[in-house]
Amino acid sequence: MCIETIQGEGGICPVNPEFLELASRLTKQGGALLVLDEIQCGLGRTGRHFAYQHYAVLPDVVTVAKPLACGLPLGAILTTERVASCIHPGMHGTTFGGGPLACAVAIEFLREEKKLLKHVRTLGEYFHAALETLDKKHKSIHDVRGAGLMLAVELVSPELAKAVAKQLLHQGIIINRTHETVLRFLPPYVIQKKHVDQLIGALDAALHKNAESAYEKTLKKEKTATSRRKAVHALPRTLAEICENVRDFVVLEHDERIIGCGALHLYGVHLAEIRSITVDPSSQSNGGGRRLVKALLAQAEKHKVTCVCLFTRIPEFFSRLGFTTAAHQDLPDKIHKDCYQCPRLYRCDEVAMVRGDVPTFAILPPPKNWLKIHA
């Protein structure tokens, strides 16, 4: 099983610790190898030799490359003794592999890397804190994340990210835009506070200058969108309007107090979707959510629905209620009706789940840009 510990091109997304620990357990149980791709995040980038050292796992194989020979082409794999014992000299070769010049540079890099780890951590914290300060100031910042000197700012729109990256380039600061909306910062390990300050000042100004015009551009785009898109913006806003549009709206009460609510949408006769679940935090730990989902499932049963689906960020909770994870493309009907209009279409982090059999008629032809969901 191969996992990138902190996704680089994917928008600086660190792997979820529970996911990595489960992957480690499952590979051990199944006799498979856990391979961590640290080509971008390894070799000191996060302030540790390897990014996996921020987690409680020990991989079987780690891949490293980019900074290894400071720009000269060189990659390496590191393995446990057990894995290494399966590979013998001559089994794997490449024309330029292990060239003396690249290897000499790599040895020098490894000497320097050791000395720079503390500096990467200190500067990383300084940089991270400065980005957090910008986050508080600019509504156009959606998220700040990363570790050491592998940091990212996620902005609210691709247009803004593009405009900011372009403006910074004009000021001599090269940053990369990954995953449409993410500004990625991978500075040299020897960067100083003054360089961070310079970037933060320029970024602050670029956000001030571009946020409004990017927002206007987005609005303009919305205006010229298809009638289908417009219909979504005319979605009901009040509780009464919502109730008219959904098949069932369940309100959960306790001691005459509303502690939660959720909606059931019917897609045809066999498929329903649970949406908009909200439970008062004080009732979450004493079974409020569970009671609400059960009430919604009972409603679905009344309508003789054979399959209930939902999209969630807490799959563990729903799996305890009999839901299993499904591929997003198993529920294209839902994707047609909802995801297609969602601004997070390209970076959806919700898990699709189903309870019961997915009716075959739910498999509709994909919308035009459906494949991009999985890109």
Binding-site residue total for ligand PLP (CB under 6 A)? 8
- Residue 174 Cβ vs ligand PLP, minimum distance, rounded to whole Å: 16
Tell me which of 53, 75, 121, 134 binds ligand PLP, using CB under 6 A: 75
Q: Give strand pairing partners of 36.
A: 3, 62
Footprint on residues 19-48 left by ligand PLP (CB under 6 A): 37, 39-40
By beta-carbon proximity to ligand PLP, the closer residue of 24 and 40 is 40
Find the part of the chain contacting ligand PLP (CB under 6 A) among 4-12, 17-25, 173-181, 241-249.
Answer: 4-12
Residue 139: what are its φ and ψ, rounded to 5°? -65, -25
CB 250 within 8 A of CB 264: yes
- Residue 182 Cβ vs ligand PLP, minimum distance, rounded to whole Å: 14
Closest among 192, 122, 134, 126 to 164, alpha carbons compared: 134
- Residue 176 Cβ vs ligand PLP, minimum distance, rounded to whole Å: 11
- Residue 149 Cβ vs ligand PLP, minimum distance, rounded to whole Å: 15
- Residue 57 Cβ vs ligand PLP, minimum distance, rounded to whole Å: 17
Closest among 210, 187, 208 to 197, alpha carbons compared: 187
Check residue 9 for interaction with ligand PLP (CB under 6 A): yes
By beta-carbon proximity to ligand PLP, the closer residue of 128 and 184 is 184
Q: Both tokens of residue 320?
A: 């305890």
By beta-carbon proximity to ligand PLP, the closer residue of 98 and 268 is 98
CB 4 within 8 A of CB 36: yes
- Residue 147 Cβ vs ligand PLP, minimum distance, rounded to whole Å: 15
Check residue 197 for interaction with ligand PLP (CB under 6 A): no
| Strand 13-14 versus strand 6-7 pairing type | antiparallel
Check residue 97 for interaction with ligand PLP (CB under 6 A): no
Q: What angle do CA 238, 242, 246 make, to 5 degrees?
A: 175
Tell me which of 1, 33, 65, 321 binds ligand PLP, using CB under 6 A: 65
CA distance 267 to 274: 11
By beta-carbon proximity to ligand PLP, the closer residue of 68 and 296 is 68
Q: Going residue by residue from 198 to 237, which x/- string records binding to ligand PLP, judged by CB under 6 A?
A: ----------------------------------------
**Cβ-closest position to ligand PLP:** 39
State CA 119 to chain mean position distance. 28
Contact residues: ligand PLP, CB under 6 A: 4, 8-9, 37, 39-40, 65, 75
